[in-house]
């Protein structure tokens, strides 16, 4: 049977495209949860190879997400479905691969010794922050232990949120933590410092980008399902009236619900008065990813955990051929 190369109708009402969008949503949400697990490992059992693999996966996941958006935008200009898929996948994967790599490499290469030490100290203090025992320049972070809904995100992004501060700005109310940060601080090599800082930078970039593309394509999926239902029920007039505002409205609603509520961490005096202004002033290229991830990830934490555990059976997201990249 000959497969036609010329598209028969609008892409967003094609069942195959909606199926791809649904599969991508499962992949992206699962990836987000796996990244949170690795970046938020308080036992420090995550290996450099695992972080390297998850960084590569992040570029692929974001690239596919961009490709699916490009398919919708280029649909009216490219007649062949095959060429549309190849063109958009090539543009999406190549652009996001190089963009994320260049951004992380640039921020890491500009780090000074204070940035490296702050990243290491803040990673060691994550547990104290979760217990509500941290002060930033005297400002209170949490009045009590962190609630369950933000603990995974806080474990993963605590060090990233402090990237604009210095070690002297970090105060612990715990005497044991002060000793561990002073006289009894563990020895660390320059390689370990560099790896810790790369993790600090990489996590919000990969997490924020993949979640953004995931939400945009999830909105694209639901808009397509609604359009398909209206087409099948012959509601052509209603479809014509809503086709221009349906996707923008769903996108604005989804992003608004992700950003607007906030949480006890982003609403705390320590974050609003100290950490956030310092991050925007000192690391302006990293700050948008951190800010978005801190606000949006807690809103989707339960969903990503369920998808990763139930639908993908806790897939580890490893690179199958080590040493190629």
How many residues are recorded in the chain?
325
At residue 242, the pLDDT reads 76
Instruction: Give the pLDDT band of residue 125 (cuts 50, 70, 90).
Output: confident
Cβ atoms of 214 and 65 within 8 Å: the answer is yes
Domain assignment of residue 221, yes or no = yes
Q: Domain tally for the chain? A: 1
| The pLDDT value given to residue 44 | 67
What's this model's pTM, rounded to 2 decimal places? Answer: 0.87
CA angle 35, 40, 43 (to 5 degrees): 125
10 Å CB burial of residue 135 (0-12, 13-18, 19+) is: middle
| Per-residue model confidence (pLDDT) at position 257 | 85
Most confident of 46-55, 153-162, 297-306: 153-162
Q: In this structure, are residues 29 and 307 in contact, taking their beta carbons and an 8 Å threshold?
A: yes
Confidence of residue 102 (pLDDT cuts 50, 70, 90): very high
Which stretches within 172-189 are classed as H helix?
A: 175-181
- What is the distance between the alpha carbons of residues 241 and 239, in angstroms, rounded to a whole number? 5
Percent of the chain surpassing pLDDT 70: 90
Query: Which pLDDT score, from 0 to 100, does residue 9 have?
Result: 59
| Residues 12-31: tens digit of each pLDDT | 778 999 999 999 999 998 99
Residue 2 falls within a domain, yes or no?
A: no
For position 172, what pLDDT does the model report?
65
Is 132 in contact with 141 (CB distance < 8 Å)?
yes
- The per-residue DSSP string of 42-76 comes to TT----HHHHHHHHHHHHHHHHHHHHHHHHHHHTT
Q: What is the pLDDT of residue 188?
A: 75
Residue 52 maps to a domain: yes
Decide if 259 is inside a domain.
Answer: yes
Average pLDDT of the segment spanning 244-265:
84
Residue 249 located in a structural domain:
yes
Task: Give the model's pLDDT for residue 65.
Answer: 95
Q: Would residue 320 count as lying in a domain?
A: no
**Which structural domain, as residue segments, surrounds residue 200?**
11-311
pLDDT higher than threshold 50 for residue 43: yes
């Amino acid at each position: 049977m000959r497969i036609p190369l010329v598209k028969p109708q609008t892409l967003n009402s094609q069942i195959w495209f909606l199926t791809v969008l649904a599969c991508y949503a499962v992949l992206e949400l699962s990836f987000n949860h796996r990244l949170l697990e690795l970046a938020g490992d308080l036992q420090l059992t995550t290996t450099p190879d695992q972080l390297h693999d998850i960084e590569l996966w992040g570029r692929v996941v974001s690239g596919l997400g961009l490709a699916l958006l490009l398919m919708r935008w280029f649909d009216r200009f490219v007649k062949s479905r095959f060429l549309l898929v190849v063109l958009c996948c090539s543009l999406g994967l190549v652009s996001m691969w190089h963009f994320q790599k260049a951004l992380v490499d640039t921020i890491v290469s500009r780090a000074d010794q204070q940035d490296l030490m702050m990243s290491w100290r803040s990673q060691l203090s994550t547990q104290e922050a979760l217990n509500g025992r941290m002060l930033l320049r005297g400002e209170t972070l949490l009045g009590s232990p962190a609630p369950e809904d933000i603990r995974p995100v806080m474990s993963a992004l605590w060090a990233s949120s402090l990237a604009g501060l210095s070690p002297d700005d970090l105060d612990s109310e715990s005497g044991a933590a002060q000793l561990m940060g002073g006289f009894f601080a563990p020895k660390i090599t320059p390689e370990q410092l560099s790896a810790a800082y790369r993790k600090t930078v990489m996590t919000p970039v990969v997490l924020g980008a993949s979640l953004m593309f995931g939400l945009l394509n999830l909105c694209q999926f639901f808009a397509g399902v609604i359009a398909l239902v209206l087409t099948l029920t012959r509601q052509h007039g209603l479809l014509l009236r809503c086709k221009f505002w349906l996707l923008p409205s769903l996108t604005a609603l989804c992003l608004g619900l992700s950003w607007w509520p906030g949480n006890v961490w982003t609403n705390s005096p320590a974050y609003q008065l100290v950490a956030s202004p310092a991050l925007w002033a000192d690391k302006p290229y990293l700050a948008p990813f951190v800010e978005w991830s801190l606000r949006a990830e807690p809103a989707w934490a339960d969903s990503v955990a369920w998808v990763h555990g139930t639908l993908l059976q806790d897939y580890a997201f490893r690179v199958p051929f080590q040493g190629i990249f």
